[in-house]
Amino acid sequence: MALVKCKECGEQVSTKAKTCPKCGAKAPKKTSLFTWLVLLLIIYVIYAVNQSPTSSVSKSSIQNPKLQASSSKSTKTAQSQKLTSPKMTWTHSNSKDEMTGKESAYASSPIIEPTKKMDFPYSDTTAWLGVGCDGKKEWAYIGFNKAPNLTDTDTEDGYNLIRTRIKWDGKIENITLTQYWGASFIHFRDDKSIISNIANSNSVLLELKWYGEQKTHFEFPLNGSSTALKNIRSLCSKYKRMNE
């Protein structure tokens, strides 16, 4: 039998007694072992939570504003890299005429769609801007996945003249192009000026009109165009000697 001291008179009282036999005060109860175990468990849980990695990181971030800013900046940079797609760039290639043995080189923009899709049967139209050379001359052209059915043209002997507008870095110019009947390529008439603009401009927008459609616009990327032109000119300087 355990004894505890009465809070009122100090007399030893049994833990089983309900009142003190001397003063009649309510007898104090001794804390049970189970109660102590529960209290210790609660204290341990609170301690463990305060020592968790998440809590440590949070405290470090609060105490060190530079660390918090660096972490936030890293997160934003990673998100930006995911959202930003790589820039489309120009490429170059070469070809050889199997019959004559003469070679030529080509610089080409990425293949694009018009800024606004046309209706059927032109809805799948794509195009690219290109420059070719063979060691003797250079020419600029636009290629399409299928022959463009253009209007507002002047019919000549075997070809059509297309009078339209082009915009380089916000500057609008009137130009003339040539399309041989049934061809899927249209060629610029002023090659030298067009090629110079391709090499030195940041943006280009071409306007064309298909039968039954509103005016259609193509915005060709110019990223890497000057490098691609240097590459084909290097090739064509060799072709000049070979093709003579």
In this prediction, residue 15 carries a pLDDT of 60
Q: What is the pLDDT along the chain (244 residues), one digit of tens a residue?
A: 566 666 666 666 566 666 666 666 565 555 566 677 777 888 887 877 776 554 444 444 444 555 455 555 555 554 544 444 457 899 999 999 999 999 999 999 999 999 999 999 999 999 999 999 999 999 999 999 999 999 989 999 999 999 999 999 999 999 999 999 999 999 999 999 999 999 999 999 999 999 999 999 999 999 999 999 999 999 999 887 665 5
Distance (Å, rounded) from C-alpha 45 to C-alpha 181?
A: 85
In this prediction, residue 72 carries a pLDDT of 55
pTM comes to 0.64
Q: Report the chain's terminal Cα–Cα distance, integer Å.
A: 122
**Architecture in CATH for domain 91-243:** Sandwich (2.60)
Q: Where are the domains of the chain?
A: 3-83, 91-243
In this prediction, residue 63 carries a pLDDT of 47
Residue 121 carries which DSSP code?
T
Residue 87 carries which DSSP code?
P
Distance (Å, rounded) from C-alpha 76 to C-alpha 121?
A: 44
Query: What SS3 state is found at 209?
Result: strand
Cross-strand partners of 173: 166
Residue 197 and residue 235 in contact, taking contact as beta carbons nearer than 8 Å = no
Distance (Å, rounded) from C-alpha 69 to C-alpha 67?
A: 5
